[in-house]
Structure 1
């Protein structure tokens, strides 16, 4: 998300550097560019106006300190105003209620509501250690009920059965009653979506809300709809007392207009964002971290949290111990690293959170997608145990066999082996005293500006 906005703002904010003082004249063009960048990102016009006004008021006349250049001062102001526009801090779910805490999910059809119920269930179970029951009150789409049952089984939470002959209120109240008897912590209620906002839908969802009195009412909205997402959220908020928003499909939205518009238009916080199709692809929405990503400063905190949750520490420790002992780094170890990266959403998901990644050429980004990872795994899987342990024996006929087995070309086998050899050399540098520092120095020359201490602005 925010690729286009990040690119435009990055170019624009470079132009303000080199001034001894920020004045109305020398920031006029920059603000015009910022305004255009926001409008192109499909940010709602009232949000753009307010943002530009606030930045201008704060920036004009500010003396530049010895430690900061005008560009850095301006970026600092822009960053703080971005945070303010999106809500300043992450707002967690309020689950402090007599169990079960009831969470109702609302939204239009196709926004990813049912999938978000499963993702949220997994999040609450694994990160908040809650017992969760999910139920579908969507009596118009039997497929939605079946889909939720399948997803509940996948994420390991309890599913309360329902069918299209029942009334939504009866389904939800029966599920809550069942959860009380079983001392379940949280009940997630999936509701019917429509193709557009209509009075019948609103009446039904109002009645359901009144009957179950949820502690959280979350509006699920597709980020790809831009500022329309904020307008739809406002329509729902007028009918229901929404407590927050889940922004879905943010991995497919390069603009970011929805994220920057929703808080201003509805007054409601974005609590989570969906960052992919997998059931673990749900992240708490942190405005400060998102502001950093927009300005190309990365989001290292989220990356650390992801590593903590998704990396198999035992396996990683085994590989590290093996390397430090000097037992070598094999293609099996390389395959394990690929698997761990895939668990974290792939290389690009990780790199997006590192400072300075906007400087990476498109050609390089293209080589780091999921497709490349799947291909590399297929190549390694097509090798024999002996070949994975001793890749130097992989010559002409073996390469042809591996290429045929993995559905790739010999050139791709050569490329993988070259990458593996480079990684092997890097791992060898880790042996002995000061090994990690040596390896990091070696990597520094291979990485783009802004990473490993180079490039980006510092506050």
Structure 2
């Protein structure tokens, strides 16, 4: 995940600060020197790092901090505040017009940044908010770009407007606006062509579309894994075409995070969303304060709550809670919980948002066997409805059939059944947690999914 290395280094610096009862000016300078190195290694723009450490030092050596009861924590708060300020202070929304007024969004970016997929992700997000989006295929150069948009548009339940690859992008864009007006579609998302590098033809094509179509927002899609190159690309597009915001893709990958910390300061343009995975639902609103919290290893509980609310069926969760209290859960419930966890991005994504987990994710990810979870799902799906509802009937012949159906050894089926039985026994021994009268307060247990 992004920022792991930076988070680990910053937490080591802060650990030293907390261990001191009083801070001297020299303590702060030494700590900030380490912070500076950590930021540079995370590929943050060197001018941004210089200004950042200067701002922190000016605030950190003030009398209120140095003579405070806990100066170490005060310095951490200052670093947090400055990180938030660096990334834009406030969350920036796309300028979507109210009601049925049409909003036209033009997506731009280099080839390989994930622009076409991101266009479909954005369309799905806006559709979920009650808008009626139309995707427009204006990338007439890259093989299969139109097909890719059509496939993703179909998955999102969003229409894709295409005139093939023989028409000029500007003509396709103009025709799409007419189509959207005719069909009462109020958000038009134009997917333009990318290049392997910035060239005059690309810039002219974008300028032509903006001259012939009333574009309300130009959104640049950049690959976070390219580090400072992403920042340089954003600056060039800002200067030559004009952009209104940035979407950073591949933030779930092995990226050092420098682009997220540098783009706003270098270009003056806000980060609107971040792509956190390959699924069409893996597009998150960018919150500077929450991202700063993640970087400092303090987690992102608010985003986790929102993810749970968006992914989990509340009626199913309540029903599951009742079953757990009665010890009446079965493999159908287990399957439901796996599906809900998958909707939230998997266990790794959930753990990454918990306080204190950021710097430990490298170790934890090695312990999370996603393929084992997929095999578990296959085993359960290979059971009959009766077997899932009543695991007690699983004899040797049934287990052999299930193992063959799931393509696993029977030992894995035995292990899953044993784990399931042990979980039930353990929960029976903790009635207080399950909301029972024994063992203390009721209602102490909360579903983890």
Q: Is the 8 A contact 2:299 2:358 kept in 1?
A: no
Q: CA deviation at 1:412?
A: 4.2
What's the CA shift string for 1:147-185, capped at 9, x where partnerless?
111111110112112212111111001101111122211
Other-structure match for 1:105: 107
Farther-moved stretch of structure 1 (268-277 vs 6-15): 6-15
- Give the secondary-structure state (helix, strand or coil) at the position aligned to 1:221: strand
- How far apart in 2 are the matches of 1:26 and 1:395? 67
What's the CA shift string for 1:290-345, capped at 9, x where partnerless?
11111111111111111111112222222222333x15121221111011100111
Farther-moved stretch of structure 1 (74-83 vs 188-197): 74-83
Q: Is the 8 A contact 2:11 2:297 kept in 1?
A: yes
Is 1:432 the equivalent of 2:436?
A: yes
Other-structure match for 2:90: 89
Other-structure match for 1:272: 273
Is 1:287 the equivalent of 2:288?
A: yes
- How far apart in 1 are the matches of 2:191 and 2:172? 11
Other-structure match for 1:453: none
Other-structure match for 2:348: 348
Change (3 A) 1:53 1:392: farther
Farther-moved stretch of structure 1 (340-349 vs 55-64): 55-64
- How far apart in 1 are the matches of 2:443 and 2:79? 36
What's the CA shift string for 1:215-241, capped at 9, x where partnerless?
110000001001110110101111112
Change (3 A) 1:221 1:426: farther
Other-structure match for 2:367: 367
- How far apart in 1 are the matches of 2:379 and 2:67? 54
Other-structure match for 2:10: 9
- How far apart in 2 are the matches of 1:362 and 1:393? 41
- Give the secondary-structure state (helix, strand or coil) at the position aligned to 1:371: helix
Q: Is the 8 A contact 2:224 2:255 kept in 1?
A: no
- How far apart in 2 are the matches of 1:26 and 1:412? 55
Change (3 A) 1:70 1:397: farther
Q: Gaps spanning 5+ residues in structure 2: where? A: none
- How far apart in 1 are the matches of 2:208 and 2:73? 52
What's the CA shift string for 1:237-292, capped at 9, x where partnerless?
11112000000011113411110111111110000011111111100000100111
Farther-moved stretch of structure 1 (305-314 vs 129-138): 305-314
What's the CA shift string for 1:30-71, capped at 9, x where partnerless?
112111111111111111111111111111134459996332
- Give the secondary-structure state (helix, strand or coil) at the position aligned to 2:221: strand
- How far apart in 1 are the matches of 2:283 and 2:69? 36
Other-structure match for 1:388: 388
Aligned 1:322-361 pairs, distance under 5 A: 322-324=323-325, 326=326, 328-358=328-358, 360=360
Change (3 A) 1:359 1:277: closer
Q: Is the 8 A contact 2:4 2:361 kept in 1?
A: no
- How far apart in 1 are the matches of 2:48 and 2:91? 20
- How far apart in 2 are the matches of 1:379 and 1:280? 26
Q: CA deviation at 1:402?
A: 4.1
- Give the secondary-structure state (helix, strand or coil) at the position aligned to 2:273: strand
Number of equivalenced pairs: 439
Which one of 114, 123, 145 corresponds to residue 125 of structure 2? 123
What's the CA shift string for 1:109-153, capped at 9, x where partnerless?
010000000000000000x21000110111212511111111111
**TM-score scaled to structure 2, two decimals?**
0.91
- How far apart in 1 are the matches of 2:88 and 2:190? 26
Q: Is the 8 A contact 1:106 1:220 kept in 2?
A: yes
Q: Is the 8 A contact 1:2 1:255 kept in 2?
A: yes
What's the CA shift string for 1:422-450, capped at 9, x where partnerless?
5435654314243432x47x99xxxxxxx
- Give the secondary-structure state (helix, strand or coil) at the position aligned to 1:141: coil
- Give the secondary-structure state (helix, strand or coil) at the position aligned to 2:220: strand
Q: Is the 8 A contact 1:223 1:253 kept in 2?
A: no
**TM-score scaled to structure 1, two decimals?**
0.89
Q: CA deviation at 1:205?
A: 1.2
Farther-moved stretch of structure 1 (423-432 vs 112-121): 423-432
- How far apart in 1 are the matches of 2:161 and 2:68? 59
- How far apart in 1 are the matches of 2:299 and 2:323? 32
Q: Gaps spanning 5+ residues in structure 1: where? A: 444-459
Change (3 A) 1:219 1:327: same
Change (3 A) 1:381 1:67: farther
Report the aligned-residue RMSD. 2.5
Q: Is the 8 A contact 1:223 1:247 kept in 2?
A: yes
- How far apart in 2 are the matches of 1:203 and 1:19? 58
- Give the secondary-structure state (helix, strand or coil) at the position aligned to 1:217: strand
Other-structure match for 2:181: 180
